[in-house]
Amino acid sequence: MATPRKSAQQLAAREKARTKAKELTERHERLIEMAAEFFEQQEQAELLRAEAKKKAEAILAKAEADAQSAVQSAAETVKAMLGAGEARSAVAARLGLSGAEVKRMIDLVTERPEPAEPDGVEGPEVTEPGDVEAA
């Protein structure tokens, strides 16, 4: 039998190399697609976390505002108890507060800021009874 020619061997080797290269290229393309999918999923996870964090911060801010409102109402109740003639020590004992806590509650009610006038608008001028000049 005759030995195959050198050019036929080279042709077969090239064809085998092309087939192997094509398989490697296809595998490489699949891996690139999977990597792209991975990065998209990672970005989606970050977006979900950021959105959840924003919602949580809004919930906490509302809860804090509601809690401050409740504390303000509690302070007004303490002031009403004192206004009813009850001694500070008796109010403190009844509510389970220290004297300092009762004072802080009173301060909360008395330090309540007044609503500000809109810019450029001044409120009515108030005169004391002794400030009126004789006409």
Domain ranges of the chain: 18-111
Euclidean distance between CA atoms 12 and 4, whole angstroms:
11
Residue 93 near residue 100 (C-beta atoms within 8 A): no
Euclidean distance between CA atoms 63 and 71, whole angstroms:
12
Q: Name the phi and psi angles at 130, rounded to 5.
A: -80, -10
Catalogue the long-range contacts made by 79-85 (C-beta closer than 8 Å, 24 or more residues apart): 79/105, 79/106, 79/109, 82/106
Q: Which two structure tokens, joined as six digits, stand for 107?
A: 């301060």
The pLDDT assigned to 128 comes to 47
pTM above 0.85, yes or no: no
Regions of the chain where pLDDT drops below 70: 1-4, 112-135
Euclidean distance between CA atoms 90 and 88, whole angstroms:
5
Q: Which two structure tokens, joined as six digits, stand for 70?
A: 């409740």
The pLDDT assigned to 8 comes to 86
